[in-house]
Structure 1
Amino acid sequence: MAPGPNNLLSISNGSRYGFGRACTGGLGRLLAFAIMIALAAVGLTAVLHTSEWLFHAIKIVGAAYLFYLALQLWRAPCEAHDVDAGVQAGLTRLARQEFLVAIGNPKAILLFTAFLPQFVDRTGVVTTQFAQLGAMFLALECIAIALYCWIGVHARRLFAKPSGKRVFNRVCAGLLAGAASFLLVARRV
Structure 2
Amino acid sequence: MSLHTILWFIPACFALNMAFGPNNLLALTNGMRWGVGVALAASMARLAAFAIMIVITAVGLGALLIASEIAFSAIKWAGAAYLVWLGIKILRAGAPQIERAAEIRTALSMKKLAQQEFWVAIGNPKAILIFTAFFPQFLDAANYALSFTVLGVIFLVLEVIAITLYAIAGRRLGRFAKGKSSFGWVNRVSGSMMIAFGAMLALAQRPSM
TM bucket, shorter chain: over 0.9
Match of 2:60 among 29, 43, 51: 43
Match of 1:125 among 127, 143, 147: 143
Runs of 4+ in 1 over 3 A off after TM superposition: none
Question: Aligned partners of 2:75 and 2:20: how far apart in 1?
Answer: 20
**Alpha-carbon offset, residue 83 of structure 1:** 4.0
Are positions 1:19 and 2:36 aligned together?
yes
Letter in 1 for 2:68: S
Letter in 2 for 1:36: M
* Post-superposition CA distance 1:94-152 (Å, at most 9, x none): 21111100000111111111111121132x12111110001111011000111111112
Letter in 2 for 1:68: W
TM-score normalised by the chain length of structure 2: 0.84
**Alpha-carbon offset, residue 79 of structure 1:** 4.3
For residue 166 of structure 1, what is the aligned residue in structure 2? Answer: 184
RMSD: 1.4
Residue-pair matches, total: 187
For residue 66 of structure 1, what is the aligned residue in structure 2? Answer: 83
Unaligned runs of 5+ in 2: 1-17
Are positions 1:93 and 2:112 aligned together?
yes
**Alpha-carbon offset, residue 3 of structure 1:** 1.1
Match of 1:140 among 123, 144, 158: 158
Are positions 1:8 and 2:25 aligned together?
yes
Q: Which has the larger radius of gyration?
A: 2
TM-score normalised by the chain length of structure 1: 0.93
For residue 179 of structure 1, what is the aligned residue in structure 2? Answer: 197
Question: Aligned partners of 2:196 and 2:135: how far apart in 1?
Answer: 27
Question: Aligned partners of 2:81 and 2:181: how far apart in 1?
Answer: 28
**Alpha-carbon offset, residue 188 of structure 1:** 2.1
**Alpha-carbon offset, residue 33 of structure 1:** 0.5
**Alpha-carbon offset, residue 62 of structure 1:** 0.6
